[in-house]
Amino acid sequence: MRTLGPGSVSSFLKIILDVTWFALWVLIGILALAGLAALLLSFNTELIEQIQFRTDIGEDPGRIGPMMAAALFAGALYMGGVLLIVGNLRRIFQTLTAGDPFHPDNVGRLRFIGLALAGLELGRWVFWGATAMLFPDVDRGNGALNLTTWFSVMVVFVLAEVFREGARLRREAELTI
């Protein structure tokens, strides 16, 4: 099976990225609406007291709503970063489907993806640190260094340079008679 052009593996992957991009928009909308609902519920503490929350932090009902809203908005923000990554991947795979893998714009797109991956990981650390300071008794999971993520960031930057060199070689070949 072909890897580039219409009807290829890259066109199949572009379809998967299109579906994922749409699903991420829906998920961001749901998270934002749930965060808004949690924030609005926080103004009515009697209603929150009637809802049985499983909480290990022993918070009063007046703080549960804002905490849930903050967590949901942080999740929506994280999904927004993932949406930007998927959007750039969609544009890269669009050039692959067109049979033009070394399109000059792909270099910038790959660099953006690398920066976005690094930003998401740094954001995870900030969120973990903030919850560690605000809620020291809650088990937040592990805030350790994720080597897989940083390895992925480096790989994406190396691929960006490979694509830059490929675009340069293509320009040189086009100038050759």
Write down the pLDDT at residue 58.
54
Full 3-state SS string of 91-149: HHHHHHHCCCCCCCHHHHHHHHHHHHHHHHHHHHHHHHHHHHHHCCCCCCCCCCCCHHH
Compute CA 119 distance to the chain's CA centroid, rounded to the nearest angstrom.
Answer: 9
Write down the pLDDT at residue 137.
67
Write down the pLDDT at residue 141.
65
- Tell me the C-alpha to C-alpha distance, in Å, between residue 14 and each of 18, 40, 74: 6, 39, 28
Per residue in 19-63, pLDDT (tens digit) is: 999 999 999 999 988 888 877 777 766 665 565 555 555 555 556
Neighbours of 69 (CB within 10 A): 19
Vertex 96 angle, CA 154 and 151, to 5°: 10
Write down the pLDDT at residue 60.
56
Q: What's the longest Cα–Cα distance across the chain? A: 79
Write down the pLDDT at residue 59.
55
**CB neighbours of 129 closer than 8 A, spacing ≥ 6?**
143
Write down the pLDDT at residue 30.
92
- CA-nearest of 48, 23, 37, 97 to 73 is 37
Give CA–CA dist 103/90, Å, rounded: 14
- The series of mean pLDDT values per 10 residues for the chain, 177 residues long, is 82 93 94 84 66 54 69 88 96 91 92 96 87 70 80 95 91 82
Q: What is the pTM of this model?
A: 0.80
What ranges do the domains of the chain cover?
A: 1-99, 102-177
